[in-house]
């Protein structure tokens, strides 16, 4: 959702697909919310390390889990957000006491809902004149949403697991 104004600049969103083959019955899911060095449909490329400072500053509790970037629709919480060599790996839990989260969970179980999207403010970026690609070198990550339409079709969920501690070992 580009263009939403904030005190320091526009809030931007990037979309990624989630491919849940199976979803934990307790609402836990995981996947990549962003992949590094891959141009999205909006001609943005997230560079490795772009989330590092924001994640250190905010931690998982400071990044909201929303439905379609709507701040009136929180649907759960992030258990972890980590940069690795591939991108921003996230693990979250839908709050199944919330009606919308139960609906989303059912759609994920059916394979009908498969998108992730990042909401951020660019802090350091450069545009390549020749290609028109904007390279995001540092972003302030505000939220990651479950969405219908992703911007980066190449990214897929890594795994969907139950929240039992042994399942993540």
Say which of 54, 69, 83, 105 is annotated catalytic.
69
Q: Quote the tokens at residue 132.
A: 């028109």
Say which of 12, 30, 83, 143 is annotated catalytic.
143
Is 117 tagged catalytic? yes
């070198």: which residue's tokens? 137
Q: Which is it for strands 64-67 and 44-46: parallel, antiparallel or unpaired?
A: unpaired
CA atoms within 13 A on the CB side of 64: 15
Is 69 tagged catalytic? yes
Alpha-carbon gap, residue 131 to 79, rounded angstroms: 37
Alpha-carbon gap, residue 156 to 42, rounded angstroms: 18
Is 105 tagged catalytic? no
Say which of 34, 54, 117, 145 is annotated catalytic.
117
Q: Which sequence positions are flagged as catalytic?
A: 69, 117, 143
């Amino acid at each position: 959702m580009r263009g939403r104004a904030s005190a320091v600049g526009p809030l931007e969103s990037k979309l990624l697909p989630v491919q849940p083959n199976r979803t934990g019955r307790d609402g836990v899911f995981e996947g990549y919310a962003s992949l590094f060095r891959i141009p999205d449909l909006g001609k943005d490329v997230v560079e490795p390390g772009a989330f590092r400072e924001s994640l250190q500053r905010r931690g998982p509790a400071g990044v909201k889990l929303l439905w379609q970037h709507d701040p009136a629709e929180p649907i759960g919480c992030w258990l972890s957000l980590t940069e690795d060599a591939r991108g921003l790996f996230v693990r979250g839990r839908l709050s199944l006491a919330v009606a919308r989260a139960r609906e989303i969970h059912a759609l994920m179980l059916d394979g009908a809902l498969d998108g992730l999207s990042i909401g951020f403010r660019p802090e350091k970026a450069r545009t390549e004149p020749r290609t028109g690609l904007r390279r995001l070198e540092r972003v302030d990550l505000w939220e990651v949403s479950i969405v219908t339409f992703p911007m980066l079709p190449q990214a897929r969920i890594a795994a969907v697991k139950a929240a039992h501690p042994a399942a993540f070992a």
